[in-house]
Amino acid sequence: MRTFATIRVGSVLRTLIAFSLTLLVVVLAPGLSTAQTTTEPTVYAVTELNLRKGPSIDDAVLAFVPLGAGVQRAPGQETNEYAPVTYNGMTGWVVALGLVASLDLVDTVETVPAPAPILEPAPETISSSPDGGDARVTLEPLMLRDGPAVDAEVLAGMPQGSLVTLTREGAENGYVTVDYGGLQGWAYADLLGEDLAST
């Protein structure tokens, strides 16, 4: 009897331990899987960005992502140099080069509007002689740069609604060459509006 009782107690004890471990795994597993699926990294807009419905400049704009705004990098690979993101509950695509991993990397020169007042009259001179179908309008305040990169030197600030002319000398990294009141440089193509000749 003593041997049977010892075996029975040991068997019950093993069963209880196994049950406890199973219960622990069941309780913790949902938390672990939730943590894995909801940890989308936050990245920041290093320039003004359009949140588009698809990975192309031809896709509809869902929202405007301002400079320095945080967005969640959605799962998926880059397509056509656009990255999938979620911003204010909306999922879409933005130009991947416009995103950085830390807010400290956002260049504050983007927010400096000092050059704009100097060139304020410039849009009038452009509107008097737009070059056919190459006229565009800035959809947001935009920087005219000396190269096709967000860290290129700022030549001038262009207020929202400024008229520019495409020079068609280059297109690279989402930037195109434009003429703004006689000053030539690179502008972020995603923030240039429709051809004014069609309106």
Tens digits of residue pLDDT in 64-75 = 888 888 999 998
The CATH architecture that domain 109-198 belongs to is Roll (2.30)
- DSSP H helix total and E strand total for the chain: 3, 13
* Alpha carbons 137 and 101: distance in angstroms, whole number: 30
Contacts of 177 (CB under 8 A, 6+ apart): 166, 167, 168, 169, 170, 171, 184, 185, 186, 187
Taking only the tens place, the pLDDT of each residue in 38-58 is 567 999 988 778 888 999 878
* Alpha carbons 187 and 138: distance in angstroms, whole number: 9
The CATH architecture that domain 42-105 belongs to is Roll (2.30)
- Domain chopping of the chain, boundaries: 1-39, 42-105, 109-198
pTM: 0.43
- Decide whether 42-105 matches 109-198 in CATH topology: yes
